Amino acid sequence: MDLEAYEAMARHGPCFVCAFLSGHPDYPHHTVFEDEDHVAFRDRWPTLPGKVLVAPRRHIEHVVRELDQDAYVRLMLVVREVALAVEDCVGAERTYLYSLGSRQGNAHLHWHIAGLPPGVPYERQQFHALMAENGVLATRPGEASGMAARIRERIAARGGLTAR
């Protein structure tokens, strides 16, 4: 992963979620869930196995001010159900849920779901485990799509969400 190129794209390129949803070839992701209002997809540069992002389809930038209570609760239900499916797939000892971005880059509201595998030494957990500056996982061809398929299957098996 080229961190400089990533930052330039995040700050000066199109909205990565909107570009992905419109089919822009420079923004491919493996979808794990979608309904009328939300999409969940594999992180292109995961720092932990099975890392997934969940976003509203509509371009929203602020999690508190731009969502009414019902929309917020529905979004968080999607986050929870996807996180439970990720945990099933990666055997996470802990699941990190966080939302990043700003008007200066990656502005489209999105939640990160990152399952911490058992046995990671404490000094490599928490913020260290989440920062691309500390390295991203190398994925072999087909690995990301395979993990996405397993997460999709777990979401469907759980039955808590209705896909589009």
Decide if pLDDT at 11 tops 80: no
Residue 125 lies in a domain: yes
Q: Is the separation of the CB atoms in 37 and 47 below 8 Å?
A: no
Local confidence band at 2 (pLDDT 50, 70, 90 cut-offs): confident
Residue 89 lies in a domain: yes
Q: What is the pLDDT of residue 95?
A: 96
Q: What is the pLDDT of residue 103?
A: 86
Scan for tokens 């997460």, then name that residue: 151
For residues 60-84, average pLDDT: 94
Residue 163 lies in a domain: no
Q: Using one digit for the tens of pLDDT, what is the confidence trace for 79-100? A: 999 999 999 999 999 999 999 8
Residue 140 lies in a domain: yes
List helix spans (H) across 39-141: 69-90, 126-130
Residue 135 lies in a domain: yes
Q: List the domain range (segments joined by +) for residue 108.
A: 3-158
Residue 164 lies in a domain: no
Q: What is the pLDDT of residue 91?
A: 93
pTM listed for this prediction: 0.91
Distances (CA, A) of 49 to 4, 35, 52, 64, 70: 23, 24, 9, 29, 31
Residue 62 lies in a domain: yes
For residues 156-162, average pLDDT: 87
The closest of 111, 141, 146 to 39, measured between CA atoms, is 111
Q: Using one digit for the tens of pLDDT, what is the confidence trace for 21-62? A: 999 998 889 999 999 999 999 998 899 999 999 999 999 998
Lowest-pLDDT range of 17-21, 108-112, 114-118, 157-161: 157-161
Instruction: For residue 118, give the CATH number of its domain.
Output: 3.30.428.10
Residue 15 lies in a domain: yes
How many structural domains compose the chain? Answer: 1
Q: What is the pLDDT of residue 101?
A: 86
Residue 119 CB coordination number (10 Å): 6
Write down the mean pLDDT value for the chain: 91
